[in-house]
Amino acid sequence: SKVPTITLNNGVEMPRLGFGVWQVPDREARRAVSTALEAGYRSIDTASAYGNEKGTGKALAASGLAREDVFVTTKLWNDDQGHDSALRALDTSLAKLRLEYVDLYLIHWPQPRRDAYTQTWRAFERIAAEGRARAVGVSNFQPAHLRRLFETSGLVPAVNQIELHPRLVQAELRALHAEHGIATEAWSPLGQGKGLLDSPVIGKIAARHGRTPAQVVLRWHLGLGNVVIPKSVTPARIRENADVFGFELDGQDLAELAGLADGARLGPDPDAFG
Ligand code: NAD
């Protein structure tokens, strides 16, 4: 069963489900990514800061999959913001991944106090023009940061990867993305597992559908139009998280899930971080 794709604003197709590898140590990344590729994932989300681009690259090389059949995302870390340092950072990431190009390159955090992201974005324009990333985007950008890019560049990010789960629904950003043709990619889509997946509300919905809580939450994202990148190192869960294309949530389910939206962030405030 093939993972459905969305078409990004430059025509590139991106799988709507990917495999996230934050907090997977490099020595375990090869096995986890291999398990995900065997389970049918065709998109991998890593980052320079995760320290596992090498293990990810080994799994990609060992998979036997054609390069064009896998969608690889990595991210520019905060220390590498700026025009020339961004170009060098991508070289380093590509070498670790053993790739000629990535499918998506993201600015990991806006770091508004440092105020370098518009210069970084100049480098990303060049990276896109040279084909060293098939698409370029951002992560953790708030509306003000996106608007600043719109004012200073003709290149609209293809993706904004943001914290998004049933507790933090990001209505304002999703509306702004829709207006500008930016794909919304949800990080910590499962709310990092603990807590959210134990919610009795989600448990009841899962029981009604004969599904697991994780599958219900991923289905909720897909219904909103989000790209999801759940993480697990447990093979059974890696497979479970990919088996989310055979059912739909109904109005009652969605109304119950809406009751969980208390606005809680699990990660840092993007306006303050870095
Ligand atoms: P997640 O929401 O994907 O949750 C992962 C955790 O949930 C696992 O460690 C496990 O404890 C649990 N889990 C996973 N599958 C489960 C299942 N089927 N049943 C029960 N429990 C399950 O959290 P995440 O790793 O924070 O986010 C996913 C990915 O998003 C990351 O790996 C990374 O690629 C990306 N991310 C990006 C940023 C960013 O700043 N851009 C920040 C955080 C995460």
Total domains in the chain come to 1
- What is the CA(231)–ligand 1 centre distance, in A? 4
Contacts of 197 (CB under 8 A, 6+ apart): 190, 191, 213, 214, 217
End-to-end CA distance of the chain: 40
- Reported as a single tens digit per residue, the pLDDT across 214-223 is 999 999 999 9
The pLDDT assigned to 212 comes to 98
* 165: DSSP letter: B
* Whether the CB of 229 sits within 6 Å of ligand 1: yes
* 158: DSSP letter: S
**Rounded (10°) CA dihedral 219, 223, 229, 230:** -20
Look up 50 and say whether it is catalytic: yes
What is the CATH classification number for the domain harbouring 146?
A: 3.20.20.100
Rounded Cα distance, 102 and 135, in Å: 8
Q: Which two tokens stand for residue 262?
A: 């208390």
**Rounded (10°) CA dihedral 113, 118, 123, 126:** 160
Among 47, 9, 67, 27, CA closest to 229: 47
Task: State which of 190, 233, 234, 265 you would mutate to test the pocket of ligand 1, scoring each by most atoms of that ligand within 8 A of its C-beta.
Answer: 190
Length of the chain: 274
Q: Which residues of the chain have pLDDT under 50?
A: none
CA 43 to chain centre: 9
Q: Which two tokens stand for residue 232?
A: 């697990």
269 in a structural domain: no
* Ligand 1, atom nearest to 47 Cα: 34
The pLDDT assigned to 159 comes to 99
Predicted model pTM: 0.98
CB burial class (10 A; 0-12, 13-18, 19+) of residue 274? middle
161 in a structural domain: yes
272 in a structural domain: no
Numbers of helices and strands, H then E, in the chain: 10, 10
271 in a structural domain: no
Please give the residue range of the domain that contains residue 155.
Answer: 5-258
Among 183, 150, 151, 264, CA closest to 174: 183
264 in a structural domain: no
* Ligand 1 atom 42 nearest Cα: 187
- What is the CA(122)–ligand 1 centre distance, in A? 30
The pLDDT assigned to 53 comes to 98
263 in a structural domain: no
CA 209 to chain centre: 26
- What is the CA(34)–ligand 1 centre distance, in A? 17
The pLDDT assigned to 1 comes to 62
Among 166, 143, 142, CA closest to 268: 142
Helix (H, G, I), strand (E, B) or coil at 102: strand
Give Cα separations from 212 to 51, 168, 203, 216 (angstroms).
31, 20, 8, 6
The pLDDT assigned to 2 comes to 87
